[in-house]
C-alpha cells in the first residue's frame, strides 16, 4: 500500500487470516513510501485516528446476503459515492486520459476520435480484468 494521489491521512489496518489486526500504519497524504506487513490477509483503509489498534478483532459475516459498500472519498474526506459491487474503479491517470479523449471526440465529432476513446476504454478494462481481484 502507498498513499500516492491520496489527499487525506488514513489509518491502514492490516488484518491476518484469523481476522485479527496485526498492524496499523498511518498513511501520510501523497507519500510514495510502500507500506507492507507480512502475513496480511486483508487491508482496510479508514480515516486517520480511527481508534483501531493491534489486537482488535474483526467479525466477518458468513451470510451470503450481506451487502458490502465501499465509499469513494473526496480529497476533504467526505463521501463522493458508494460502491455496492460490480463497479469498476479507474485510476486518476486513466480517468484524466479518458476525459481528455471524450472531450476531443465531442468537439471534433470525428469517428477516429470516438474509436480512439473506445479503444482506450477497453484497454483499461482489459488491464483490470488481468489484475488480481483486490486491485480492481
Query: Does the global pTM surpass 0.75?
Result: no
**For residue 136, what pLDDT band results from cuts at 50, 70 and 90?**
very low
| Cα 61-54-57 angle, rounded to 5 deg | 20
For residue 8, pLDDT over 60 is answered with yes
Judging by beta carbons within 10 Å of its beta carbon (0-12, 13-18, 19+), is residue 65 exposed, middle or buried? exposed
Q: List the grid coordinates of 50.
A: 480511527
Longest dimension (CA), the chain: 59
Question: Distance from CA of residue 49 to its chain's centroid?
Answer: 20
Q: List the grid coordinates of 110.
A: 470525428
Please state the rounded mean pLDDT for residues 73-79: 77
Amino acid at each position: 500500500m502507498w498513499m500516492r494521489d491520496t489527499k487525506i491521512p488514513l489509518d491502514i489496518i492490516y488484518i491476518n487470516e484469523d481476522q485479527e489486526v496485526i498492524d496499523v500504519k498511518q498513511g501520510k497524504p501523497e507519500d510514495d513510501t510502500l507500506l507492507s506487513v507480512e502475513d496480511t490477509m486483508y487491508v482496510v483503509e479508514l480515516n486517520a485516528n480511527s481508534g483501531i489498534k493491534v489486537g482488535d478483532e474483526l467479525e466477518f459475516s458468513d451470510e451470503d446476503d450481506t451487502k458490502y459498500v465501499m465509499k469513494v472519498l473526496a480529497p476533504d474526506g467526505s463521501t463522493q459515492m458508494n460502491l455496492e459491487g460490480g463497479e469498476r474503479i479507474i485510476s486518476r491517470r486513466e480517468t484524466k486520459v479518458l476525459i481528455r479523449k471524450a472531450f476531443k471526440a465531442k468537439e471534433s465529432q470525428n469517428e477516429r476520435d470516438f474509436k480512439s476513446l473506445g479503444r482506450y476504454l477497453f484497454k483499461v478494462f482489459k488491464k483490470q480484468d488481468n489484475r488480481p481481484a483486490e486491485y480492481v
